[in-house]
Amino acid sequence: MDPVIVKETLIKVLSQIQTDSGLECPPLSGAIKPVENIPKFDSNVWPVATRILATEKAEIPKDVNIFVDETTKLARTIDETAGFICDLLKKQSEQKAAAA
């Protein structure tokens, strides 16, 4: 999957969530960290964004926080999130191919 397409979809999903919630949405770019830079984007909202993204683009496990690095506990930028999703999907694809 193309990280640019994932990034564009992610930005669309984040913008829509903010609009639907009646919240301000800053201009979104690849350098923005949703957890830190989008108002009220927290652990109650990120699973919703992940599910919407999963229905539009990819199978993302429910227990994976795409917005925070599990190892460092640091928030990911939109670009980093898109790259993480692409890596995750590649690994899933490889696992399915190996199992077949």
The more confident residue out of 61 and 23 is: 23
Q: Judge whether 99 lies within some domain.
A: no
pLDDT digits (tens, 9 = 90+) for 28-85: 999 999 999 999 999 899 999 999 988 876 688 888 899 999 999 999 999 999 999 9
Cα–Cα distance for residue pair 70/1, rounded to 1 Å: 22
Domain that holds residue 35: 3-91
The total of other beta-carbon atoms located within 10 Å of residue 45's CB is 19
The total of other beta-carbon atoms located within 10 Å of residue 10's CB is 27
The total of other beta-carbon atoms located within 10 Å of residue 32's CB is 19
Question: What's this model's pTM, rounded to 2 decimal places?
Answer: 0.90
Quick check: helix, strand or coil at residue 75? strand
Q: Judge whether 100 lies within some domain.
A: no
Q: Judge whether 71 lies within some domain.
A: yes
